[in-house]
Structure 1
Amino acid sequence: MRADRLVSLVLLLRRHGRMSAVALAGELEVSTRTVLRDIEALSAAGVPVYAERGRHGGFELLPGFRTELTGLNHDEALALLVAGSRRGAQAFGLGSALASAMLKVVDALPDSYRDTAAGASERLLVDPETDLLSRRLVAEEAPDTVVAEVLRAVLAGHKLRIHYAAVDQTPKWRTVDPIGLVTVRERSYLLATRSGADRTYRLSRILAAQALAEPAQRPDRVDLDRAWRERSTRFRAGGDQVTVLVRVHPARREDLVGTALAVLAEEAGPDGRLRMEVTFQDRRHAEWALWQLSTNAEALAPQWLRDALRDRAAAIAARYAAPS
């Protein structure tokens, strides 16, 4: 506990510069007496922390003092920052850098921690490649050269030239101002602007990319999570959306909600099932979603959806009625 607190104390001084004992005590949730003992312990261990007396005094580190891991390079540090999702690091072309960085982190651990950490890591698995039904999660992939160029332009703040294959269109070259990269449900997207208008490009559809020397026209800071939510909202509001009235078993409600774009209305029926009005991206999306729920859901309207599900079920029944 104290070792963690000492590290936190050093990091606070690194981040904020001079801090009073009272401020440090508040951040660390300890008494000022404990802070003073910790400062003394740091000094005895060779950490160059000193006190500045007076009204605006406090404790601070000598200028230039740094605590460093064992030689992390730029890509390795970046990989650690996105390591909250192992697949995120892989999607952005940082998988090998992440592995290298983690080796350096393990090497920097004290001997007493290294074996414990290694053993603990063997008992934790995040985001495996298959689920409990052995369904393999297939991620969309883009060529490494494309990912590297896109990432270079995003981080450097330069314009990007991409050869993009939109759905049902001939691939075309276009120059964009990259904003950031987002990975969601095994798909990666480039958020950018083109001639000032927001654009979103699926990374797997970028056939070639070239980072240009010209600076991108974009704000210095970006809230990527907010930008993604706004674009998602606009996407759901457009297109050929359809609204469907469904009767669904309560146990499968979350499965339906997880595939729909939005739930417009919901009420419990006299038979215990839920009557829900939901929207889907298009007709194909609606038919697919209801088919997944089998007899646990029934499309009540529109009629074209009932007809499509009936015809599909009839075709399956006819196929299995004959001997194999």
Structure 2
Amino acid sequence: MRADRLVSLVLLLRRHGRLTAPALARELEVSTRTVLRDIEALSAAGVPVYAERGRHGGFALLPGFRTELTGLNHDEALALLVAGSRRGAQAFGLGSALASAMLKVVDALPESHRDTAAGAVQRLLIDPETDLLSRRQVAEEVPDAIVAEVRRAVFAGHRLRIRYAAVGQSPKWRTVDPVGLVTVRDQGYLLAMRSGADRTYRLSRILAAEELSEPAQRPERVDLDRAWQERSTRFRTGGDQVTVLVRLDPARREELVGTALAVRAEETDADGRLRLEADFQDSRHAVWALWQLATSAEALAPQWLRTALRDRAAAIAASYTSQPES
């Protein structure tokens, strides 16, 4: 317990720069006397902690002192920072670095904790590749060399030349100013600027990448979460988006909401079924989403959607009116 407290004390001083003994006592939930004894123990062990007198005094560490997890390289440390999502590390080309970093973390544990940690890991499964219905969650495959080149340009603030295969177009080379990387449901995206305009590129469609020496023309600071939300809004409100009115079994609501771009309005009919007004990316998206819900959903409008679903159902029914050929 004391060893953990000593480490916490050092980390508190690293984070805050200077803290008084009473402040440290509150943070560590111990007495001021215990804090003073711990400070003496750290000093005796060679940790450069010193006391500053006066009204704004307290305890601090010598400038430049830091604790390090020995042996972690840049990519391994980066992988640990995105390890909240194992697939996030994979999407950014850091899967092997994450595995290597975790081995070093385990090796750095005290021997008494190592076996316990290994046993605990066997009891946890995070983000499996299949769900309860055995549907496989397929992550996009992007060559590590391409992702590494993109990643270097993003971090270095350099321009990036990519050969990109947009949907329905032949691959073309283009030079962009990279802003950041985003992963959503196992799909990786590069947020960039081109000729001053925002652009979003799917990593799996980048066929080649080359970091240039020129500095990227991009904002000094960026809020990636906000940038992604803004681009998502523009995507939803552009193109061939359609709005449909659906009558739905409440038990299937989450399935519809999960596939729709947005739900504009929702109310409950007298019989308990839901009536939703929802947006879909295009007509094909709307037909697909409603078809998955079978008789649990009825498209009320527009008429073209009702016709498309009826014709599809009629075609399937017709294929079952005769005996199969032996």
TM-score, normalised with respect to structure 2: 0.95
- One-letter code aligned to 1:69: L
Q: How many equivalent residue pairs?
A: 324
**Equivalent residue for 1:161?**
161
1-side partners of 2:31 and 2:312: how far apart?
71
| Runs of 4+ off more than 4 Å | none
Instruction: Provide the aligned C-alpha RMSD in A.
Output: 1.6
1-side partners of 2:275 and 2:200: how far apart?
35
Q: 1:189-237: CA deviations, max 9, x gaps?
A: 0000011110000111111110000111112322111111111111111
2-side partners of 1:291 and 1:3: how far apart?
60
SS in 2 for 1:265: strand
Does residue 262 of structure 2 align to residue 259 of structure 1? no
2-side partners of 1:141 and 1:230: how far apart?
26
Is the 1:51–1:59 Cα contact (8 Å) retained in structure 2? yes
2-side partners of 1:25 and 1:257: how far apart?
49
- After superposing the two structures, state which structure 1 stretch, 218-227 or 117-126, moved more: 218-227
SS in 1 for 2:192: strand
- After superposing the two structures, state which structure 1 stretch, 175-184 or 145-154, moved more: 145-154
Is the 1:161–1:211 Cα contact (8 Å) retained in structure 2? yes
1-side partners of 2:313 and 2:195: how far apart?
48
Is the 1:6–1:38 Cα contact (8 Å) retained in structure 2? yes
Does residue 202 of structure 2 align to residue 202 of structure 1? yes
Q: Which runs of 5+ in 1 are unaligned?
A: none
CA gap of 1:160–1:250, structure 2 versus 1, over 3 A, is same
1-side partners of 2:244 and 2:173: how far apart?
39
Q: Which runs of 5+ in 2 are unaligned?
A: none
Does residue 241 of structure 2 align to residue 230 of structure 1? no
CA gap of 1:289–1:29, structure 2 versus 1, over 3 A, is farther
2-side partners of 1:313 and 1:272: how far apart?
26
- After superposing the two structures, state which structure 1 stretch, 152-161 or 2-11, moved more: 2-11
SS in 2 for 1:321: coil
2-side partners of 1:3 and 1:268: how far apart?
59
Is the 1:70–1:105 Cα contact (8 Å) retained in structure 2? no
Is the 1:287–1:308 Cα contact (8 Å) retained in structure 2? yes
- One-letter code aligned to 2:13: L
2-side partners of 1:196 and 1:26: how far apart?
50
Cα deviation, residue 275, structure 1: 0.8
**Equivalent residue for 1:214?**
214
Is the 1:79–1:97 Cα contact (8 Å) retained in structure 2? yes
SS in 1 for 2:319: helix
SS in 2 for 1:246: strand
Cα deviation, residue 56, structure 1: 2.5
Among all aligned residue pairs of Structure 1 and Structure 2, give the percentage whose two residues are the same amino acid.
Answer: 84
**Equivalent residue for 2:83?**
83
CA gap of 1:234–1:15, structure 2 versus 1, over 3 A, is same
**Equivalent residue for 1:119?**
119
2-side partners of 1:134 and 1:17: how far apart?
51
Q: 1:276-297: CA deviations, max 9, x gaps?
A: 1111111011001101111111
Cα deviation, residue 30, structure 1: 4.7
**Equivalent residue for 2:50?**
50
**Equivalent residue for 1:100?**
100
